[in-house]
Chain A
């Protein structure tokens, strides 16, 4: 089976940096993705890591350590619009996604 763990909620002020950790246990692993979902909306793709290391896309960065079964999403220069739920997801051996329960990020003024 597979399981993913991430914190349920993180609160930070505008302009701050937030790191959302994700640990996973999986029988087959091809990569780790991150998705953002605003309340009532559809998830949107943020990033994907198949190899160890850091991937940077604007204010967001994602990191993967395959040996530690661990990854994180880094949100920099937080803005109010970043208030949303963030999900890590593992791509398994069959190409399917297994999602974590999500981390709600609350950005305060």
Chain B
């Protein structure tokens, strides 16, 4: 079955620690995205990547970093510089970005709690 996996589903960290959220897709999609969702709010774009070894900042990139070493994988690191890291993090992919493909496929999300 094709899809996007994110792990873990729930993650707890102490303040000051970096944490990496994984995202893997086997849909052969070129474009991948990371979003943050806070309670009662929409999705805000953190980073996105059109091809391997290339990624761009989204609207709220400060305190986050990403890598795209493989087409299938787009891990997100939440650094200690992120002031309010507790949130629901969603990874998504689409066939490509340049073709203006509109449909994004989302993973199940990781709920990060930092205390």
* Residues of A near any B CB (own CB < 8 A): 4, 8, 30-31, 33, 40-45, 48, 50, 87, 91, 94-102
Contacts and interface: CB of A to CB of B under 8 A. Distances in A.
Given A42-B90, A100-B42, A101-B41, A95 B103 contact: no
Contact of A96 (B97, B107, B109): B97
Contacts, number: 61
Interface string B38-81: 00111111001000000000100000000000000000000000
Main secondary structure of the interface of B (DSSP, over half): loop
Given A87-B42, A97-B45, A43 B101 contact: no
B97 A95 contact: yes
Helix, strand, loop or mixed for chain A's interface? loop
A42 B109 contact: yes
Nearest to A104: B40
A44 to B, nearest CB: 7
Interface in B77-115: 90, 96-109
A47 B105 CA distance: 13
Contacts of A41: 108-109
Interface residues of B, number: 26
B99 A95 contact: yes
A88 B40 CA distance: 14
Given A42-B90, A101-B41, A33 B106 contact: no
A42 B43 contact: no
Contacts of A95: 31, 96-101
Contacts of A43: 43, 90, 104, 106
A4 B41 CA distance: 12
Contacts of A4: 42
B100 A102 contact: no
Nearest to B107: A42
A14 B44 CA distance: 32
A94 B106 CA distance: 19
Given A41-B108, A94-B97, A96-B97, A48 B41 contact: no
